[in-house]
Amino acid sequence: MSDLVLVLNSGSSSIKYQLLHSDSAEVLASGLVERIGEDSGRIVHEAGPAKLVYDGKIPDHKAGLARAFEMFRETGLDLKTLGIGAVGHRVVHGGEVFWKPTLITDEVLHAIEKLSVLAPLHNPANVVGIESTRELLPDLPQVAVFDTAFFHTMPDAARTYAIDAKIAAAQDIRKYGFHGTSHQYVSEKAAEFLGKPAEDLNQIVFHLGNGASASSIQGGVAIDTTMGMTPLEGLVMGTRPGDLDPGITPYLMRAADLDVSGVEQLLNRNSGLKGLSGVNDFRELQKLIDTGDADAKLAYDVYVHRLRRYLGAYLVQLGTVDAIVFTAGVGENSPAVRADALAGLQNLGIEIDPERNETRTPGIRRISPDFAPVDVLVVPTNEELAIARAAHKLVSA
Ligand code: AMP
């Protein structure tokens, strides 16, 4: 089976895509369809040195994909005749049903759609993306790779919320965790880099992007993570608050007269770094801090405080930690966050070499001194490659 895979990540108004070889990781083309359904949309498509931009109305996901597929043709890549082995779709919520990459049939698609109650902001968009691709490329096998899958192994004590057990069971309320594809990918890469089997390592992974989560991984198996039933729990994120006293929601509904969608809007779009400082982008936040902005500084301090709280929790859970891994936009690019998150922990064997921390090199790197008992690594994540490999493996089996 050809190792060429088209990977799609469909959001409510956008689709990110990449065409790549899953063996060599060589990317032939990538792009982003944006502002689907709005007055004016945009597609930016890159294939080697060629960069095409389309500006115009994109009424729906299918129209956006059809236009993007034309752009593939315009750059000499006809998706129908290239010999693609599979299409891999990122699907956010697999619930209790899916914890492995799964070949998409009508039945599977229906089940993913049913899981929309658990992820109303994500699964419906994933379903639309899958349906559109199946219509446009009907002859290719399509594979769903679930963001929750890696955390399926969490023990009951970690995944159970302490609320009425009958209600929890009836409504499927439990911790599922997200960003699993990234946590799994970077923890495997870290093991490769350290020259040891993942089964022999305990790791704490910080995926710090616009969304952010940490995980506690024991011998290659996830035993806890910060995101919960939804991607709102845990760390402070670009626009999401992370952990919050559950009493705040009913309080706000009464005191600030917010309805359900008002609360959802507040928690998904107007909280986190943005809620505290006005900006959700970490680079913007750093610029504000440099100008002496007190709100931005507080946002940063809350962000780091939360990281350290979970670091402490996971150190205790694991007992012994071999590696602490930073990944995603902030984790890969902010030496300040890495240094502040791990400051003052020399007695626990955790230390950062300031020069290594500041030095940027592509690929994986160790930022702890060679003598430190705990390896601190920066590992670039690559969810597209992980999805491509999972899809290729499934269709080749
Ligand atoms: P992601 O969701 O992984 O794409 O990460 C997005 C986040 O990474 C945004 O908050 C960006 O501001 C942040 N980011 C990207 N590059 C840098 C950088 N050089 N320094 C600090 N933050 C960065």
Give me the residue spans of the domains in the chain: 4-146, 196-383
Cβ 183 vs Cβ 383: under 8 Å: no
pLDDT of residue 119: 87
Cβ 65 vs Cβ 33: under 8 Å: yes
Nearest CA to ligand 1 atom 23: 330
- Residues 103-124 have a mean pLDDT of 93
- Residues 93-108 have a mean pLDDT of 96
pTM of the model: 0.95
Pocket, ligand 1, Cβ cutoff 6 A? 209-210, 238, 281-283, 328-330, 333-334
Rounded distance between C-alpha atoms, residue 233 and residue 240, angstroms? 8
89 annotated binding-site participant: no
Phi, psi of 370 (to 5 degrees): -60, -30
> Which of the four pLDDT bands, split at 50, 70 and 90, describes residue 121?
confident
Question: What are the Cα distances from residue 218, in Å, to 174, 222, 241?
Answer: 21, 6, 27
- 147 catalytically annotated: yes
Superfamily of domain 4-146 in the CATH hierarchy: ATPase, nucleotide binding domain (3.30.420.40)
329 annotated binding-site participant: yes
Q: Which atom of ligand 1 is nearest to the CA of 280?
A: 10
pLDDT of residue 12: 85
C-alpha 221 to ligand 1 mean position (Å)? 27
Nearest CA to ligand 1 atom 15: 329
Same fold, 4-146 and 196-383: yes
- 308-339 pLDDT tens trace: 999 999 999 999 999 999 999 999 999 999 99
Nearest CA to ligand 1 atom 4: 329
C-alpha 76 to ligand 1 mean position (Å)? 32
pLDDT of residue 1: 82
Catalytic-role residue among 39, 60, 106, 147: 147
Residues 6+ apart with CB under 8 A from 161: 168, 173, 174, 175, 228, 229
pLDDT of residue 216: 98
Would the pLDDT of 292 be above 90? yes
Separation of CA 81 from chain center: 31
- Residues 207-229 have a mean pLDDT of 97
Q: How many residues does the chain have?
A: 397
- Residues 249-278 have a mean pLDDT of 96
- With 0-12 / 13-18 / 19 or more C-beta atoms within 10 angstroms meaning exposed / middle / buried, residue 19 is buried
278 annotated binding-site participant: no
C-alpha 357 to ligand 1 mean position (Å)? 16
The residue to mutate among 276, 287, 288, 330, having the most atoms of ligand 1 within 8 angstroms of its beta carbon, is 330
279 annotated binding-site participant: no
- 345-391 pLDDT tens trace: 999 999 999 999 999 988 999 999 999 999 999 999 999 999 999 99
Nearest CA to ligand 1 atom 8: 329
- 33-78 pLDDT tens trace: 999 999 999 999 999 999 999 999 999 999 999 999 999 999 999 9
- 158-203 pLDDT tens trace: 999 999 999 999 999 999 999 999 999 999 999 999 999 999 999 9
Q: Which atom of ligand 1 is nearest to the CA of 328?
A: 3
C-alpha 22 to ligand 1 mean position (Å)? 25
- In three-state form (DSSP H/G/I as H, E/B as E, the rest C), the secondary structure along the chain is CCCEEEEEEECCCCEEEEEEECCCCCEEEEEEEECCCCCCEEEEEEECCEEEEEEECCCCHHHHHHHHHHHHHHCCCCCCCCCCCEEEEEECCCCCCCCCCEECCHHHHHHHHHHHHCCCCCHHHHHHHHHHHHHHCCCCCEEEEECCHHHHHCCHHHHCCCCCHHHHHHCCCCCCCCCHHHHHHHHHHHHHHHCCCHHHCEEEEEEECCCEEEEEEECCEEEEECCCCCCCCCCCCCCCCCCCCCCHHHHHHHHCCCCHHHHHHHHHHCCHHHHHHCCCCHHHHHHHHHCCCHHHHHHHHHHHHHHHHHHHHHHHHHCCCCEEEEEHHHHHHCHHHHHHHCCCCHHHCCCCCHHHHHCCCCCCEECCCCCCCCEEEECCCCHHHHHHHHHHHHHHC
The residue to mutate among 186, 206, 239, 283, having the most atoms of ligand 1 within 8 angstroms of its beta carbon, is 283
At 26, list the tokens: 């060589």
Superfamily of domain 196-383 in the CATH hierarchy: ATPase, nucleotide binding domain (3.30.420.40)
pLDDT of residue 254: 96
Cβ 300 vs Cβ 285: under 8 Å: yes
Q: Which of 81, 138, 78, 80 is nearest to 104 (CA)?
A: 138
* pLDDT averaged over every residue in the chain: 96
270 annotated binding-site participant: no
Tokens 């790791």 locate to 203
Residues 6+ apart with CB under 8 A from 176: 93, 94, 95, 118, 148, 151, 159, 227, 228, 229
146 annotated binding-site participant: no
C-alpha 223 to ligand 1 mean position (Å)? 27
C-alpha 161 to ligand 1 mean position (Å)? 31
Q: Which atom of ligand 1 is nearest to the CA of 337?
A: 21
Rounded distance between C-alpha atoms, residue 397 and residue 392, angstroms? 9
The residue to mutate among 206, 210, 290, 384, having the most atoms of ligand 1 within 8 angstroms of its beta carbon, is 210
